[in-house]
Amino acid sequence: MVRSYQMSQLILTPKISEKSMYLAERGIYVFEVPLSTNKIEVTKAVEAAFKVNVTDVNMVIAKGKVKRFKQMLGRQSNVKKAMVKVKAGQSIALFEGAK
């Protein structure tokens, strides 16, 4: 399926947290991606952007939380996370500086 936007727009941000740093030590990197993205598109985008070989991709949709502001109730947007496993011996330098 051909998308109208560039592959660089598929990876919105890297997710930096204690859990993602723990996974990064084991070769699994976590990125926030658009809700409409599938595993094949994420694989191609990560391989093109970071010059690594992707072996597995898992996707998770984190549901948005309900927040209160005075008497108004609002809801945060849903977020899709892609957990990308790279070939043994390879790494993504983007996560190296956050340790």
What's the average model confidence in pLDDT over 88-92? Answer: 92
Domain ranges of the chain: 7-88
Identity of the residue numbered 4? S
CATH number, domain 7-88, options 3.30.70.330, 1.20.1740.10, 3.40.1390.10, 3.20.20.70: 3.30.70.330
pTM: 0.84
pLDDT 10s digits, 15-42: 999 999 999 999 999 999 999 999 999 9
Per residue in 10-22, pLDDT (tens digit) is 888 999 999 999 9
